[in-house]
Structures are given as structure tokens and as C-alpha cells.
Amino acid sequence: MIDRERLERRAGELSRIAGRGTAVSRLGLSADEQRARELVSSWLAPRGAQVRRDAAANLFARLPGEGEAVLVGSHLDSVPEGGRFDGALGVLCAVEAVESLVDAKVKLRRPIEVVAWADEEGARFGVGLFGSTAAFGRLARGVGDRRDRDGTSIADALRALGERGDPSAARRDPKELAAYLELHIEQGPRLETAGVPLGIVSAIVGIYHARVSIHGRADHAGATVMTARADALAAASEIVLAVERIARSRLDSVGTVGEIAVRPGAKNVVPGECVFSLDLRAARDHDGLVREVLDTVTRIADARGVEASVDDLARVPATSLDSKIREVLRRATKSVGVDAPELVSGAGHDAQNPALSGVPTGMIFVRSTGGSHTPREFASIDDAALGAQALANAIKELAT
Ligand code: HGY
Ligand code: MN
Ligand code: MN
């Protein structure tokens, strides 16, 4: 049923949008992401899908039917210098699964909607899972005013795409949906180590994103003795190492500072200000991890005589996925000959938003190698075709 060549050809076409070699830099809410949505629309519109883009720039392609819809998809944006498969493979396999069912003239009762969520990575504005958070009405207030490094706001970026600029207008009723399915590369080594091409996601870790600003005092690097300094970068550095220490000390926890900026940023000026990102995740006691890190930020800032302010960007609780849908996915993967293990996802996914909104949600993992969020990321077309076939089987069971 799956047309392997079509899947492979389209994967190549998509990876060339904002791609360079095996790297992709297709940032959310950019013209590149819009070009990717147009490419996906060009595949589905000729198959009778009604294609629309919502106020948060999410793309939906709907094949008509009766009752609540089965929603299936992932995201098209990437991190800067990311890989070709993160998100993109889920959209490609959703399109291929649906087209293979249409090719085979399978009678589907329910409507099927293929979705490409906008700006899942939050690479420009810092708000991860942006499009799906907007669609399920979970955006924090004032998100539209969040700005990227050039001072462009989310509202500006949406208006540049031809939207009105208020992402909260993307909200839709979760009761319109019978189920949400997402195929995604694992982005870790477990399936590779186990020698298994597919996995089923049991739960997704809790994720907290924030921006920490440390205000010290800029001063002359030569004329200011060490005991008279309020060095913002030295304080931030102690905090970064504390994040690493705390995450290492707690079960199933990770902590990362991926972005940092220093002002004024000159070799002979004691740093007056430092702004850095916080990414804290845990499968269990996520709140405890966040609390311990934020208490430590305050303790270090007080001890060093600098001011620390924390700007919450996103907080998604640990999310377990629907047991009935996991059973559907177990049958679907078995039917392609795979005894798929259940895995907790350390990566965040758009699937958290439908799941937290009461939509029965499931995820299929496809084996990937070379890590992720890097051009080394890789998934084989054989594993992708197997995943797409399992996805088609699951859609068929849920939609007939
Ligand atoms: O950060 C994540 O886990 C996802 O790739 N956005
Ligand atoms: Mn990612
Ligand atoms: Mn992803």
C-alpha cells in the first residue's frame, strides 16, 4: 500500500526547503516554513482534501467524512542547523499513509485531517509547541508580543504571512477530534540499540522553558578590583553548572542552557547583563526539578549581589498517552511485523497538547541514528515506509 518511491521523492523535495546538505534551518513562522506548507498542500489538494491555514499558521488538510475526525501529523519547522527528519518525517508519513488509503479506495467513515503544526521548535521566539498550543487554547497571555532577536514579534510574523496576528483565534474544539496520531523519529538511541525499527510512545516528559536575565554592573575590567564586582556572566556561569549538577542528581531529569547572551559584550568590560535560556525536563516530579533550579538561581544571585529575573516561556506537564490508542498502535505495528517496545519520550511533541486537552492521542517512533537537532540525524526510508504503513493501518482502524 505505501508508495516507497513517492515517500522518498517527497522527503527529498521537502528537505531542500531551507536545506543545505543534510542540514535544515526551516525556522517556525518564517517564509521557509510557509513554502513547506505549500508543498504539502500541493500533494493533498489534488486528492480531494480541503486545505486551510489557521490563525497560528497551522496547516490542516481535511478529507470529508462523518463525525469526529482523526487528526494525524507533526511539524515542518526545524531548529537552526537541524536535521531533515525531526517533524518532517511525521508529516511526510501522514501524507503517505492517507494517500495510500485513498489509492486503495479504503472506505473511511470519519473525516481525516493531516496537520502540519506551526513553529513546534520555538527557535525564533522561544515558545515551543506554539501552533498546537494555540490550536488547543493553551497559549499563555501576551504570547503574540514575544519578539525574536531582530525585534520581530510573533504577531508581526503572523501578519507577514497574511494572518491577522492573534494566534489565540486558532483555538478549535477538541471534541471535534476522535483521535490524534503522530509519527516522529525517536531522536535517541534506544530503538537503534534494540535493533527494532518502530516504537510506541507511552508518555512524554514534562518540559519547562524560561529566559533568565541576570543584571549585575558593567565596569572597567582593569580598574575594578575582584571584590568590587557584580559580574553577570560569572553569576550565570555558576548557575549553568548548578543546572547540570541538579539535573544529574535527579532521576529521569535533564537540564540544558542552550542560548546565552552577554551585554555589553566587550573583552575589557565586566559583564553587566547576561540573558540565558533554561530547558528543564523530567518524566517524574518535574515540578520538583523546576523548583530546585529556580531556588538555586535566587540563592546564587543573592550571594553574588546581582539581580535575577525569570521569564516563563512554556510549561507542559509530563503527559501519558491514551492506553486504547496505544493498543491500536500495537496492533498496527504488529501488522507490519514489528513487536514495538513502549518508550517514554525525552523530546517534547505537539502530541502533548491534544493529549492534555482530552483527545485520545498516540505516537509511533521510527528508529533514528546520529542524534537529533543536528545534521547527523538520520532515518532510513525502509523504517519510514514501515512506520507509514503502521500509521495507515492505525488510521484505517480508527476511521472505519
Ligand atoms: O525540544 C524538543 O524536545 C522538541 O524537539 N521541540
Ligand atoms: Mn525538535
Ligand atoms: Mn520534533
If you take atom 4 of ligand 1, which residue's CA is the nearest one? Answer: 348
279 touches ligand 1 (CB under 6 Å): no
**CATH architecture of the domain formed by 207-316:** 2-Layer Sandwich (3.30)
Atom of ligand 1 nearest to the CA of 129: 6
Q: Where are the domains of the chain?
A: 4-205+318-399, 207-316
187 alpha carbon to ligand 1 midpoint, in Å?
Answer: 10
| Confidence grade of residue 87 (pLDDT, cut at 50, 70, 90) | very high
* Residue of 202, 144, 187 lying closest to 168 (CA atoms): 144
126 touches ligand 1 (CB under 6 Å): no
| Confidence grade of residue 2 (pLDDT, cut at 50, 70, 90) | very high
Which among 85, 319, 373 is the best mutation to test ligand 1's pocket, defined by most ligand atoms within 8 Å of the CB? 373
Atom of ligand 1 nearest to the CA of 86: 5
| Rounded Cα–Cα distance for residues 350 and 137 (Å) | 13
Interacting residues of 110 by C-beta distance below 8 A, sequence separation 6+: 65, 66, 67, 68, 69, 70, 178, 398, 399, 400
Which among 76, 81, 349 is the best mutation to test ligand 1's pocket, defined by most ligand atoms within 8 Å of the CB? 349
Do 207-316 and 4-205+318-399 fall under one CATH topology? no
347 touches ligand 1 (CB under 6 Å): yes
**Ligand having the closest approach to the CA of 346:** 1
Mean pLDDT of 203-228: 98
| Confidence grade of residue 1 (pLDDT, cut at 50, 70, 90) | confident
**Ligand having the closest approach to the CA of 122:** 1
Task: Give the residue ranges of DSSP H helices in the chain.
Answer: 4-15, 31-44, 88-103, 130-135, 154-160, 190-194, 232-249, 286-304, 323-334, 352-356, 381-399
Per-position DSSP letters for 225-280, written without gaps between them: -GGG-B-HHHHHHHHHHHHHHHHHHSTTEEEE---EEEES--TTEE--EEEEEEEE
CATH number of 4-205+318-399: 3.40.630.10
Q: What per-residue confidence (pLDDT) applies to 138?
A: 95
If you take atom 6 of ligand 1, which residue's CA is the nearest one? Answer: 121
- Note the pLDDT tens digit of each residue in 161-187: 999 999 999 999 999 999 999 999 999
Mean pLDDT of 210-227: 98
Atom of ligand 1 nearest to the CA of 122: 6
Helix (H, G, I), strand (E, B) or coil at 204: strand
In the structure, ligand 3 is a single-atom ion and the residues with CB under 5 Å from it are 86-87
123 alpha carbon to ligand 2 midpoint, in Å?
Answer: 10
Q: What per-residue confidence (pLDDT) applies to 376?
A: 97
CA distances from 381 to 12, 88, 163, 342 (A): 11, 13, 35, 22
Share of the chain above pLDDT 90, in %: 99
Q: Answer whether 305's CB lies under 8 Å from 230's CB.
A: yes
Q: What per-residue confidence (pLDDT) applies to 47?
A: 96
- Note the pLDDT tens digit of each residue in 249-265: 999 999 999 999 999 99
Mean pLDDT of 322-337: 98
Q: What per-residue confidence (pLDDT) applies to 48?
A: 95
120 touches ligand 1 (CB under 6 Å): yes
128 touches ligand 1 (CB under 6 Å): yes
**Ligand having the closest approach to the CA of 117:** 3
- Note the pLDDT tens digit of each residue in 267-313: 999 999 999 999 999 999 999 999 999 999 999 999 999 999 999 99
306 alpha carbon to ligand 3 midpoint, in Å?
Answer: 36
